[in-house]
Amino acid sequence: MTKTAFVNCNLFVGTEDNLLENAWFIVNNETGKLEVKGTGKFTFPDIDKTVDLKGQYVMSGLINAHTHIGYINVSKVHYPETETLTTYKALKDLKSGLKGGVTYLRGCGSPFDVDVKLNNIRKDFPFDGPRIKPTGMPISILGGHSDRPLGSPLYDRGTPNYSHLVNSRDDVRKAVREQFKKGAENVKLMATGGIMSQGDQIDDTELSLEEMKVAVQEAHSKHMTVCAHAEGRLGIHYAVVAGVDSVEHGFYTSDEDIDLMKKQGTFLSPTLIAGHQIAIYGKGKMTDFSYNKMCQHVEAFYKHVGKAIKAGVKLALGTDAGTFKNPLKNTAKELTELVRAGATNYQALHAAGLGSAELLQIDKEYGSLEEGKFADFLVLKENPLVNIAAVEQEDKQVYQHGVRKF
């Protein structure tokens, strides 16, 4: 059993708003877990390797709770959105995301169930990238947000859809069971319209309260989590009442629902960076319909997210990675946007660590640098508790299970 000691660092464990200065920690190279940590002079014998971190700052790897690996800009690549191309792009996203500091992620919708399929084969066919809590196909109404044909008749039998399209509670129950059979660990519900869909508004209420209740009941009975794309006020309310584990986006979360989310422990995963990128860079690069929708609502988006943060709603870090000018490798930019919305640096970092880990139900082994947890960590030149943008450092060191990847 070999061990590596990491010495001479400033350690942000992730459980409190402070650093352990002049810190060290030991990783078991066989298990990949952090065994012991401390401060001051390092005197442990029988260490196989020592890594001097030269006074730099160490924090837990980023856990991105809202991603879409494998998304293709069909108009840009001039090639049909096939499963082969989606898989190729997903593997590239995963590798670049790891370089950007993401060591674990939750899929929130992937064409052709690619995140589920990659997760299923990973043990026998390893690849570089964050670990995955997969979702695969989301659940949408006919004509709703994410009712989107995929592929081409030239490459696919018929025309598959990005989503399960449902018209009843029985349809919803069947869709959840189908995703369970495939190996999905999370269910994505489309509660409202969205920015990028061309046939609806964000306050269109799509899945009904009764349909979402069935989805939650069915998923939770199989140890699956449930998240809901929810931007308009009524759709958010239905999602919270139905008992979803997290509200995604939450543009118009009401005071009533903020109170209910706190009572129930419902998480908010805002994905502010997705809205920011569209509002700043989207003009002329997408339909006027989508660009104008975001510009109309972006101020309220930040306002309501800020209100939820200040009220103490549980916060996870998600970015909607894969959307417009929003690659997985830029996940750290969401930290800056959370702070802009009113979070403290510690609240933002907690969301990226223990917050997302609790939501993904992996917090016993990930999300902080405590003894007994896997040693997924970043090494930074600056203190992220002082400068949140420090996490955006392009040449940061990235470790998974104690092994340096970048």
Domain boundaries, the chain: 3-60+368-404, 62-359
**Residues 182 and 136 sit within 8 Å (Cβ to Cβ):** yes
Query: Token pair 């598959």 is at which residue?
Result: 160
Question: Measured between alpha carbons, how far is 313 from 307 in angstroms, rounded to an integer?
Answer: 9
Res. 72 pLDDT band, cuts 50 70 90 = confident
Q: Does domain 62-359 have CATH number 3.20.20.140?
A: yes
**Whole-model pTM over 0.85:** yes
Question: Measured between alpha carbons, how far is 95 from 102 in angstroms, rounded to an integer?
Answer: 9
The DSSP H or E segment spanning 241 is helix 233-242
Residues 216-237: tens digit of each pLDDT: 999 999 999 999 999 999 999 9
Res. 79 pLDDT band, cuts 50 70 90 = confident
CATH topology of domain 3-60+368-404: Urease, subunit C; domain 1 (2.30.40)
Structural tokens at position 287: 């339909």
Residues 299-351: tens digit of each pLDDT: 999 999 999 999 999 999 999 999 999 999 999 999 999 999 999 999 999 99
Q: How much is the pLDDT for 198? A: 92
Question: Measured between alpha carbons, how far is 363 from 365 in angstroms, rounded to an integer?
Answer: 5
Question: Measured between alpha carbons, how far is 254 from 311 in angstroms, rounded to an integer?
Answer: 12
Q: Please, what's the largest Cα pairwise distance for the chain?
A: 66
Given CA atoms 89, 93, 95, 96 in this order, what sign does their dihedral have? Answer: positive
Ramachandran bin of 12, using left for φ above 0, alpha for ψ from -120 to 50, beta for the remaining angles? beta
**Residues 225 and 244 sit within 8 Å (Cβ to Cβ):** no
